[in-house]
Each structure stands twice: as C-alpha cells, then as structure tokens.
Amino acid sequence: MFDAALFYLRPHVIITDPMNIYVCVKHVPDSAATIRIVEPNQIDENITFLLNPYDENAVEAAVQLKADSDDTDVIAVTVGKPAAIDTLKSALAMGADRGIHVVTGYWPDSIVTARALQAAIIKDGLPDLILTGKAAIDSDGYQTQFRLAAALDIPVATHVGSIARNDNSVTVTCGLEAGGEQVIRMRMPCVIGTAKTLNTPRYPTLPDIIKARKKEIREVSIDHLAIEPPDSRMEIIALKSAVQKRRKQMIAGSIEESVTELIRRLKGEARIPLS
Amino acid sequence: MEKIAILIETRQGEIKPSLYGVITAAQDAEHELLALAFGADTARFADQLKPYGIHHLVTITAPSARSFSNPDNRARAIIRAMDHFDIRTLFALTSLAGKDLLPRIAARLDAPLVMDCLAVNLVDSTVEKPQFSEKTIATIRVTGHHRIFGIRPNMIEPKTMPVETETVVFNYQGTADDRLEVVETRQGKSGAIDLSEAEIIISGGRGMKNGENFQILQECAQVMGAAVGASRVAVDNGWVPHSMQVGQTGTTVCPKLYIACGISGSIQHFAGMKTAGTIVCINTDPDAAMMQQCDYGIAGDLFKIIPALTRQLKAHR
Ligand SMILES: Cc1cc2nc3c(=O)[nH]c(=O)nc-3n(C[C@H](O)[C@H](O)[C@H](O)COP(=O)(O)OP(=O)(O)OC[C@H]3O[C@@H](n4cnc5c(N)ncnc54)[C@H](O)[C@@H]3O)c2cc1C
Ligand SMILES: Nc1ncnc2c1ncn2[C@@H]1O[C@H](COP(=O)(O)O)[C@@H](O)[C@H]1O
C-alpha cells in the first residue's frame, strides 16, 4: 500500500534527487473526427485518436520545467487500450523522457482511471509534480486530476495559466470567471491541471520523433496494479447523436429590412427577450 | 424523505440567475431540498429561494470569512455540511467555480460526479450529458453512496414550486490544509457576465479583421445585455483574450441566443456552442458551415449588419 508519510519527508531530499514530473496524457478521438455509434454505448474507434489537446499543454509545461533545472525526469503516463501507446509516443516526441502505459481493454471511468494513475505512479517513483490537462475532450470529465490528488493525499489546483517553481512549492494562477485570477501556492508534491493559456505546445520535428522511438515505454496491465475496486461508478449506458433541429431560415432583403426581420423573428418565434 | 442539496453561487453578492434552473433540476415532491450558501449575509436569500421549493437555506459560516477563499477549505466545509445534514445528493452549476469545487468534493468523498448535465433523472440515477465535443449525448448511470451533478447553465428552464423556506446556520470550524495557500484573489471585471453563463452571446471570428473592430460587437452586446465571444482565430491573432474563446479549447456555452459574426463554423467552434437555443449566422459566405446549422442566416457584411442591428435595437427600447 502507498505510504503517505513518505511524501512529507520529500522536501528534505528534494535537492539531491532528480525531480520527477509525471504527466497524465489521454488518448482521445480527434476533435474533427466523425463519431459513429456502433453499440448502444460504444463508438466506432476506427477514427483518428490524438493526445488530448489540454494534455499537450501539460506536456509542454513539464518539458519547459525540465529545461529550467538540470536534473529532471519527465514521465508520461496513460491509462487506456493498446492503441493509447501512440499518445505516449506523441508525448515522448514533445520531450518527455519515458512513458508508462497502463493497458486496459476498455475506457475506465475517472474513478478507476485515477486509481490506476496513482498505482502506476507510486510503483514507478516519487512524484514531485504531477501535471494533467484541465479536461479530456472525449468525456469532458473535469475531475481526474482531483481524484488523483485525493488518492495521493496531495494538494491540487486546476485551470492553471502560469506555474512558477520555488524550492519545495509551486505558485500557480488559476482562472476565475470574467477574467479573474487566483494565485495559489502549493507545497510539492502536488497536482496541476493545465489551461490552454499556460503555453503554446511545441510541434515535434522529425528528428524529435525519431529520437523518441528509442525512449522507453513501460507497459503494465491494469489487472497487475491491484487496484481496489471502488464502490462508486459512472457508467455510460447509452449514446446518441446530438442532433439539434434548426430552422435554417435565410433572411434576405436590404440591410435594414433583413435586420428588422431578424429582430421580429427572434422576438416572435424564437421568443428571445431582447431588451 | 431524502435530502438533496443545491450549492448557491453568487455574483456580486446576488444569486446567479442561472442557478434557478439548477434548483428545478433537483425539484421533486419526494425530496427535501436544501440550499447551501457561504457566508452569514446569505440568509437574506430565503425570500428568493422560497418560490423554487427550497425547504431549508443553510448558511455556512466560519470563524474567519477569509477561510472560504481557499478552494480546498470550501470543499471541506461543504462535505462537513453534507455529513451533518445527511445530504447524499448535491447539485451545482457547471461554472468555472463549479469546475473547481465539485470535483474537489467528489474526489474526497469518492463520489460519482458528472459535469455539464443537460438533464437528471433522480429515480434511476441517470443523467444526460454531451460527450465527444458535443457530437453525442451520453446517458450515464451513477452508482455510489453520494452523487454529485454539475448542471450546464441555462439548460433547464426554471419552474416555481413554492414552499416555506427556513434558514439554518451551519458553523464550519475546520482548518485549512496548509499545503495549499491562497496568496491573492483578483476578481474579474465587475458586472461582466461569464461566457459560460450568458443568456445572449455575440461572437466574432476572422471576419472581424482586427481587435478594434470588436468594439462593434461590444456596442451591440451592451444593447442586448449580451456577452461577447470569439473564435480561436480571433484569439490566436491576439485580437481578444483567450477567456473570450468559444469552442473545443475555449469555453462551452449554452445561451438562449448565439450570434456568430464572421465565423465559418468549424467543428471545434461548434463543439462550444452547439446546445445554444437559437443560432444566428452573419456571414458574407452563404455556404459557410455555420449557415447550414443555424436558425437564422443573413448572407452579408457584418460591418453593415451589426451596426444596423445595434441601431434598430436601440430604437426599439
Ligand atoms: C485541436 C483544435 C482545437 C480548436 N479549438 C477551437 C476553439 O475552441 N474555438 C474555435 O473557434 N476554433 C477552434 N479551433 C480552430 C478551428 O478549426 C477553426 O480554425 C476556427 O474556428 C476558424 O475560425 P473563424 O471561423 O473565425 O475563421 P475562418 O474559418 O477563417 O472563417 C471566417 C469567416 O468569416 C467570414 N467573413 C469574412 N469577412 C466577413 C465580413 N465582412 N462579414 C461577414 N462575414 C465575413 C468568412 O466568409 C468566413 O466564413 C481548433 C482547432 C483544433 C485543431
Ligand atoms: N485515461 C487517462 N490516462 C491518462 N490521463 C488521463 C486519463 N483520463 C484523464 N486523464 C488526465 O486527467 C485530465 C482530466 O480528465 P477528465 O477528468 O477525464 O476530464 C486529462 O486532461 C488527463 O491529463
């Protein structure tokens, strides 16, 4: 079992040990792909899958933090079907040092995913920082980073637009509504969910991609992680296409006429309270 | 009777209008509804909540008012209140604040959580929510001792169900985890409506040509009480901040009315505004994808149409 006490000792040894940054990356359908439903609750996975766009920012942040300190290991971790190895390769091409693939035969919910990430990470080493995206664009869950932090009993912040590293803490800014911000300091180890504004993810060059081929990817079956089965579950029982019936009416005429007509229809048939 | 709680969210000290739809999602004659609100001054909300079926308004107080600026501490306070009142089901808005608070609570309770619910069925514990960039609607069944639902703003039309509302104070005595410390909080633009909750949005894309031209949209927005959004191209070109981006990698919005100006209608943009009630497309290109999936389209120059719209709306007032 995981020994939480080890984490509190961490600040004292941080100077001598390499810093371990774990980045959680999810293999998700390309946002441009056409989603076809093949079973009541399955999609046709014969489409392009990519590294989750928000996780690109997490990988970029890790690689930038590595550039700032001599002795840092960036480890990309994914939980997913065998095909998810491609997403690890993308992370390695962006500059992660090695990868861990928790191999599953299905796409687990975020409760199981977080347990698998936790188990895989503590089996591998002691994390100083764990980076995730703010959400996966397939499930739009917004929660795995929090569950992972709770499982490890370490602090977490999400929607992070800047990261500054101090000796044994990080200072991050989290987006609030209407452009507001909250500055949060967290003791390391901690979990950070990255926002799009954090950085611009690099495009790997061909040499980067070739170099990444030599990097190590460790595979472990989820069954070998001895995860305690949770009492709670979130289960997709049905999927349907989201088709919105739209009126598709073109409004023609002069500028003034068409605007008058638009306002009339918005107030009338669409019942919009235009003040 | 099972107890169900709704987390009250405020803007500038007042209940957010989009919150009443969240209460409606939880309304059910079989249940006792509690509203949870931070701070002693929220007791005055009782009158506003009465028509919507809230039996108890719980105002959560702490020895120091500042302690609730810490997100982790907020989560702990809610969990303590849920425990105290035997609340197993929690509803809140899928707002930016909700996206921080709800998963913190769910993670600590090891409870199932679904964000951005379009509809909730409490009897069989299922919800509907968009997945895969809004291309599908999933029915998700949640199982667990607790269950937590984040409701998409503006999705559920508020319904009244008047009851008597009693106010209860819950004093939270817990201390914050010193491993997470709030250094500073900078509030957003006062009075500005966050995109994710706006009822009317007018957005501009590449067709706006530059940042200054967004002023045309701002003026129109002011007349309509709307928020201004943008496509990624407008953000990437540095015309407007990322907080205004609608879409896959921006904000997901669900307004009653979405007016797209000079936006072609890419899949990633649609991913952020597909569930809008009514979509208006203003575009010089009658074949733009946005035109194919809108309710009302005007094929023309936004630089002529928007000022005319602003002028006519002003005249109507
Ligand atoms: C992973 C990923 C994530 C993405 N996330 C997002 C996202 O979150 N949000 C987003 O918006 N995009 C996103 N994109 C980008 C998206 O693919 C499109 O490139 C983008 O939405 C196009 O923006 P646009 O419609 O403003 O520009 P364009 O596609 O160039 O369209 C401009 C439109 O303006 C019209 N126009 C020009 N002049 C006028 C005028 N005077 N009057 C009226 N109309 C005029 C043109 O006819 C045209 O239809 C993402 C892409 C990827 C790959
Ligand atoms: N299967 C997975 N493997 C690795 N990381 C994941 C996985 N699922 C979610 N994550 C991480 O958790 C973040 C939030 O995911 P979600 O809660 O599903 O929206 C993502 O951006 C990833 O960084």
Orientation angle between helical segments B302-316 and A255-267, nearest 10 degrees: 50
- Chain B residue with CA closest to A269: the answer is B278
pLDDT, residue A12, reads 45
Distance B290 CA to ligand 1 centre (A): 10
For range A140-157, the mean pLDDT: 97
What Å distances lie between residue B116 and A236, A260, B82, CA to CA?
15, 35, 22
Q: Is A204's pLDDT higher than 70? A: yes
Q: Is A247's pLDDT higher than 70? A: yes
**E strands of chain B, at which residues?**
3-7, 10-11, 14-15, 32-38, 56-61, 89-93, 113-117, 119-121, 126-131, 136-143, 147-151, 166-171, 180-186, 200-204, 227-230, 257-261, 278-283, 296-299
Q: Which of A35, A241, A259 sits opposite B308 (nearest CB)?
A: A259
Amino acid at B28: D
Shared domain for A148 and A269, answered yes or no, is: no
| CA–centroid distance for B201 within its chain | 13
- Nearest Cα residue to atom 1 of ligand 2: A79
Please report the atom of ligand 2 found closest to the CA of residue A58: 23
Check: complex ipTM more than 0.85: yes
Closest approach of B9 to chain A, Cα-based (Å): 12
Portion 163-182 of A in contact with B at CB < 8 A: 171, 174-182
Amino acid at B162: P
Q: Is B195-316 assigned to CATH 3.40.50.1220?
A: yes
Portion 42-101 of B in contact with A at CB < 8 A: 69, 71-72, 95-97, 99-100
Query: DSSP letters of A16-48?
Result: TSPEEEEEE--EEE-TTSPP-EEETTEE---S-
pLDDT, residue A132, reads 98
Shared domain for A200 and A255, answered yes or no, is: no
Taking only the tens place, the pLDDT of each residue in B195-229 is 888 999 999 999 999 999 999 999 999 999 999 99
Q: What is the mean pLDDT of chain A?
A: 92
Q: Which residues of chain A does B136 touch, with a Cβ-Cβ cutoff of 8 Å?
A: 35, 37, 43, 239-242
Token reading at A97: 């040092």
Is residue A13 very low, low, confident or very high in pLDDT (cuts 50, 70, 90)? very low
Question: CA-to-CA distance for A66 and B7, rounded, in angstroms?
Answer: 40
**E strands of B192-305, at which residues?**
200-204, 227-230, 257-261, 278-283, 296-299
Please report the atom of ligand 1 found closest to the CA of residue B290: 49
Shared domain for A202 and A262, answered yes or no, is: no
Closest approach of A248 to chain B, Cα-based (Å): 4
What Å distances lie between residue A122 and A55, A128, A152, B193, CA to CA?
20, 11, 9, 43
- Nearest Cα residue to atom 43 of ligand 1: B283
Shared domain for A215 and A249, answered yes or no, is: no
| Strands across the sheet containing A181-187 | A217-221, A98-103, A72-80, A19-24, A129-133, A190-194, A156-165, A169-175, A181-187, B180-186
**What DSSP designation does B245 have?**
B
**What DSSP designation does B218 have?**
H
Shared domain for A49 and A151, answered yes or no, is: yes
Residues 6+ apart with CB under 8 A from A46: none
Q: Which residues of chain A does B248 touch, with a Cβ-Cβ cutoff of 8 Å?
A: 31, 53, 137
Q: Which of A138, A235, A270 sits opposite B131 (nearest CB)?
A: A138
- Chain B residue with CA closest to A250: the answer is B297
pLDDT, residue A18, reads 83
Shared domain for A71 and A156, answered yes or no, is: yes
Question: CA-to-CA distance for A153 and A121, rounded, in angstroms?
Answer: 13
B2-171 and B195-316: same fold? yes
Phi, psi at A130, each rounded to 5°: -125, 125
Q: How many residues are present in chain A?
A: 275
Number of folded domains that form chain A: 2
Please report the atom of ligand 2 found closest to the CA of residue A147: 17
Are B132 and A136 spatial neighbours (Cβ–Cβ below 8 Å)? Answer: no
Q: pLDDT > 90: what percent of chain A? A: 83
For range A203-215, the mean pLDDT: 95
Q: Which of B140, B143, B183 sits opposite A171 (nearest CB)?
A: B183
Token reading at B125: 């514990």
Q: What is the 3-class SS of B48-78, one letter each residue? A: HHHHHCCCEEEEEECCCHHHHHCHHHHHHHH
User: What fold is seen in the domain B2-171?
Assistant: Rossmann fold (3.40.50)
Interchain pair B295, A137: CB under 8 A: no
Going by their DSSP bridges, the two strands A72-80 and A19-24 should be labelled as parallel
Token reading at B102: 């709800």
pLDDT, residue B142, reads 98
Question: CA-to-CA distance for B176 and B169, rounded, in angstroms?
Answer: 20
Residues of chain B with pLDDT under 50: none
What Å distances lie between residue B1 and B44, B78, B95, CA to CA?
26, 20, 29
Shared domain for A204 and A251, answered yes or no, is: no
Residue in the structure block whose two tokens are 């309270």 = A273
pLDDT, residue B190, reads 65
Orientation angle between helical segments A144-152 and A110-124, nearest 10 degrees: 50
Closest CA to A84 of A215, A248, A217: A217
Is A10 inside any structural domain?
no
pLDDT, residue A40, reads 87
pLDDT, residue A11, reads 47
Q: Is A225's pLDDT higher than 70? A: yes
Please report the atom of ligand 1 found closest to the CA of residue B248: 8
Q: Which of A137, A150, A158 sits opposite B100 (nearest CB)?
A: A158
Interface residue of B100, B231, B244, B273 to substitute, partner A, most A CBs within 10 Å: B100
Interchain pair A241, B136: CB under 8 A: yes
Shared domain for A73 and A109, answered yes or no, is: yes
pLDDT, residue A275, reads 66
Annotated domain spans of chain B: 2-171, 195-316
pLDDT, residue B28, reads 80
Is A6 inside any structural domain?
no
Shared domain for A273 and A163, answered yes or no, is: no
Shared domain for A30 and A82, answered yes or no, is: yes
Shared domain for A138 and A271, answered yes or no, is: no
Q: Which of A32, A259, A272 sits opposite B256 (nearest CB)?
A: A272
What Å distances lie between residue B233 and A122, B82, B238, CA to CA?
41, 44, 9
pLDDT, residue A177, reads 85
The binding-site residues of ligand 2, defined as CB within 6 angstroms of any ligand atom, are A 24-26, 52, 54-55, 58, 77-80, 110, 113, 132-133, 135-136, 139, 141-145
- A197: domain CATH number is 3.40.50.620
Distance A204 CA to ligand 2 centre (A): 22
pLDDT, residue B101, reads 97
Structural domain including A273 reads: 244-275
Are B34 and B6 spatial neighbours (Cβ–Cβ below 8 Å)? Answer: yes
Amino acid at B274: K
Bridge-partner residues for A103, per DSSP? A80, A221
pLDDT, residue B30, reads 82
Residues 6+ apart with CB under 8 A from B282: B259, B260, B261, B262, B297, B298, B300, B302, B305, B306
pLDDT, residue B194, reads 80
What Å distances lie between residue A234 and A6, A175, B128, CA to CA?
32, 28, 12
What Å distances lie between residue A247 and A226, A252, B134, B273, B293, CA to CA?
53, 15, 19, 16, 9
pLDDT, residue B197, reads 86
Ligand lying nearest the CA atom of residue A50: 1
Is A1 inside any structural domain?
no
Kindly report the pTM of this predicted structure: 0.90
pLDDT, residue A1, reads 43
Ligand lying nearest the CA atom of residue B246: 1
Shared domain for A88 and A170, answered yes or no, is: yes
